[in-house]
Each structure stands twice: as structure tokens, then as C-alpha cells.
Amino acid sequence: MLTHYEGFAMTEMMGKPDNPPRANGSLCFSSEWERTAFGMALALAKQGYFEWDDFRDELIAEIKSWEDAHPVDRSSWNYYDRWLAALEKAAVKTGVLDADEIKAAFAT
Amino acid sequence: MDDRFKYRDDREAYSAARVRALEALLIKKGVITDKSVDTVLDFFETRMGPFNGAKIVAKAWSDPAFKDRLVADTPKAIAELNLPEGMAGAEGEHMRAVANGPHVHNLIICTLCSCYPWPVLGLPPYWYKDPTFRSRAAREPRAVLKEFGLAVPDAVEIKVWDSSAQIRWFVVPERPAGTEHLSEMELEALITPETMMGVAVAKAS
């Protein structure tokens, strides 16, 4: 079926362990950086830099390792922190960026 | 414990800085542009979402003839409105509206996640895909609705519509009493995704 990429991507996530927080039918971002992190991942996948499923595998793995490290106190949970970590990993794995480049960009 | 998960007091500022650095790097390398993020988000924020459903329902409340057309041929009626393209296209073309009335209350459920009418309703809430919700809503809708805080009188029939890849249902809730003086735009604010799923009724603010 012909469908918008954005629609396809979000529909794929619904009801899965990595599905994004939303309120009243809309995605909800608590700050601008969360929105930017979300948009970058979708833009990269849409442009074919990596497969959406590959990004999601990273995201699911990130969520799981965070949960394993925080079995009791989950007050510091932030979905988009995990999203960002998954995005960096997916970008490195698929060769869009290399890890040193990211480190250097962050240091400046 | 993995020390990259150590709690940082400046976590928020730290994440914000990391995102800024990553975006700047991707732009510098020509992978994305400074418009890429807004282009993607525009789709969710202004084109597809529950605000479309609210417009359709508000129009139906204000114009009974439109409501009749909406129920008779949903895509055709939606096409009359000035909504973003795509609404009456691929994703929206199997949309069907069912109207609540004094003797009938409609509830939509879905056995596949992809059949939620999200161009109109936005993204489904977390419980919508829950197998318990789906099977109980099909079997004992009255009890489930009561748990949602909605007591449907015994005299009112409850119809359950199971969306599928072929048809995506949404509910036209009843216009609440005491809203006769409101404009279409003011009415839109009363129309939540829950009312268009049939797990709530619209209330006069």
C-alpha cells in the first residue's frame, strides 16, 4: 500500500516495547532536543541511510540494557535519551558517521 | 553497572548538547539539512493527527447534511473539507464513520495495529493494542466502557466495529447539549481522540 514513510514508521512501532510516548493522539516531546532526536532518526531512515528496523533493533537493545541496569529505581528514565544513544549507534554501524567524529563534534 | 547510565544532574542539558552536536555534524556532512527535522515533524504536527478528526466531527455537528454524507460515503465527504492531502488518499480511503445517536453508541477496536485510522485520530494510545482490551471490548463492551468511566444506559445499544486492513472505523460522537452557541472552531476543542474511538463521549467543556 502506498503510504507516507512517517506513517509507516510509526505504525510499525505501535504496541511494541519501543513505541514512543504520546498523549491525546500526538507524539509528545518534553523538550526541543527530544523532538530533534526523533526527527533526525526518521529523516536518516527515510533517506535510506539505514533501515528503520535496524534503528529499532538498536533502540530496543538500548531500552533493555537501561532496564537491566535499573531494576528498581526508574525515576531517571527518559525515552529519548535511549533514542539518542540508539541513533548514534545506528549511524556509526551503517557508516554514516564514525564514533570519533561524534566525539569530536560533541567536544567542540 | 554500566557507567554510561550513571545519573547526571545535568542530564537534560547534556542530552540537549549531544543532540545539537549530532545535528550540526550531520548537516555539515551534507547528510541532512537544517530543514530535515522540521519536514519530518510537520507530518505529525500539522498534517496527520487527531486535529483532522476534530475538524470532520465539528463540521458534522454544525451541518446535519454533511453528517449524513459523512456516514454514507466517508472518503467523499472528507474530500469536501480542506484537509491536508493524503487524508482522502491511500491511508484514508478505507475510512468509515459511524455516528452515535440516542439509541446507539459505537466503539472501535482493532486486531492489527496498522488499521487504526490515524490520519484522523493520531497515534493510538498504549492500551489500544492490548490483547485484553481488544478481546474484552468485543465480548463485554458495556463493562469495559464502564471501566473507562462511561456508563452507557441499558436502553442504548452498543455496536463494536473491528477495524481491518480494509476498513478503518471512527466514531462521530454526539454533540453535547449546551453547545448551540459555539463556533466550529470552538467545538473542535471538545472532540478528543477518545470520543472518536467511542471510549468517551464529548462534553460541553
Q: Quick check: is A23 in a domain?
A: no
Closest CA to B17 of B5, B25, B28: B25
**Residue B95: which residues within 8 A CB-CB, separation 6 or more?**
B74, B75, B78, B117, B119, B120, B167, B168, B169, B170
Question: Are residues B31 and B56 part of one domain?
Answer: no
User: B90, A40: Cβ pair inside 8 Å?
Assistant: no
Question: Are residues B176 and B83 part of one domain?
Answer: yes
Query: Which cell goes with B29?
Result: 556532512
Question: Are residues B123 and B148 part of one domain?
Answer: yes
Question: Are residues B80 and B15 part of one domain?
Answer: no
Question: Are residues B39 and B105 part of one domain?
Answer: no
Which residues of chain A have a CB within 8 Å of the CB of B32?
A: 40, 43-44, 47
User: What's the confidence (pLDDT) of residue A55?
Assistant: 96
Amino acid B33 reads T
How near does any CA of chain A get to the CA of B72, in Å?
24
Q: Quick check: is A99 in a domain?
A: yes
User: What's the confidence (pLDDT) of residue B92?
Assistant: 54
Q: Quick check: is B95 in a domain?
A: yes
- Considering CB atoms only, which of B4, B21, B32 is closest to A43? B32
B117 with B163: CB under 8 angstroms?
yes
Q: Quick check: is B159 in a domain?
A: yes
User: What's the confidence (pLDDT) of residue B114?
Assistant: 61
How confident is residue B165, by pLDDT bands cut at 50, 70 and 90?
Answer: confident
- Considering CB atoms only, which of B36, B41, B129 is closest to A15? B129
CA distance A88 to B98: 45
Q: Quick check: is B155 in a domain?
A: yes
B60 with B133: CB under 8 angstroms?
no
The average pLDDT across A47-73 equals: 94
Best mutation target, B11, B14, B15, to test chain A (most A CBs within 10 A): B15
Question: Are residues B107 and B37 part of one domain?
Answer: no
Q: Quick check: is A2 in a domain?
A: no
Q: Pick the residue from chain A with its C-alpha nearest to B7.
A: A76
Amino acid B90 reads A
User: What's the confidence (pLDDT) of residue A2?
Assistant: 44
Q: Quick check: is B2 in a domain?
A: no
Q: Pick the residue from chain A with its C-alpha nearest to B18.
A: A106
Does the structure's ipTM exceed the value 0.90?
Answer: yes
Question: Are residues B84 and B17 part of one domain?
Answer: no
pLDDT, one tens digit per residue, over A73-102 is 888 899 999 999 999 999 999 999 999 999
Q: Quick check: is B5 in a domain?
A: no
Q: Quick check: is A67 in a domain?
A: yes
Amino acid B128 reads Y
- Number of domains composing chain A: 1
User: What's the confidence (pLDDT) of residue B123?
Assistant: 87
User: What's the confidence (pLDDT) of residue B131?
Assistant: 84
For the beta carbon of residue B181, count every other beta carbon within 10 angstroms: 6
User: What's the confidence (pLDDT) of residue B90?
Assistant: 53
Question: Are residues B54 and B38 part of one domain?
Answer: no
Q: Quick check: is B21 in a domain?
A: yes
Name the residue range of residue A62's domain. 48-108
Question: Are residues B171 and B141 part of one domain?
Answer: yes
Residues at the binding site of B for Fe(3+) are 110, 113-115
Which residues of chain A have a CB within 8 Å of the CB of B45?
A: 26
Q: Quick check: is A82 in a domain?
A: yes
How near does any CA of chain B get to the CA of A22, in Å?
7
pTM of the model: 0.85
Question: Are residues B68 and B26 part of one domain?
Answer: no
Residue B38 has pLDDT above 80, yes or no: yes
Name the residue range of residue B28's domain. 10-45
Looking at chain B, the whole-number percentage of residues with pLDDT higher than 90 is 66
Closest CA to B41 of A14, A43, A86: A43
- Number of domains composing chain B: 2
End-to-end CA distance of chain A: 45
How near does any CA of chain B get to the CA of A14, in Å?
6
Average pLDDT value over all residues in chain B: 90
Residue B2 has pLDDT above 70, yes or no: no
Q: Quick check: is B17 in a domain?
A: yes
Q: Bridge partners of B157?
A: B104
CA distance B195 to B201: 5
User: B25, A105: Cβ pair inside 8 Å?
Assistant: yes
pLDDT, one tens digit per residue, over B85-144 is 666 555 556 889 999 999 999 999 987 666 788 888 988 888 888 888 989 999 999 999
The average pLDDT across B149-161 equals: 97
Residue A1 has pLDDT above 50, yes or no: no
CATH number at residue B57: 3.90.330.10
B152 with B158: CB under 8 angstroms?
yes
User: B21, A66: Cβ pair inside 8 Å?
Assistant: no
Best mutation target, B39, B40, B167, to test chain A (most A CBs within 10 A): B40
The average pLDDT across B14-21 equals: 96
Active centre residues of B (catalytic): 110, 113-115
Question: Are residues B171 and B146 part of one domain?
Answer: yes
Q: Quick check: is B170 in a domain?
A: yes
Question: Are residues B155 and B128 part of one domain?
Answer: yes
Helix axes A79-93, A99-107, angle to 10 degrees: 130
Q: Quick check: is A30 in a domain?
A: no
Q: Quick check: is A42 in a domain?
A: no
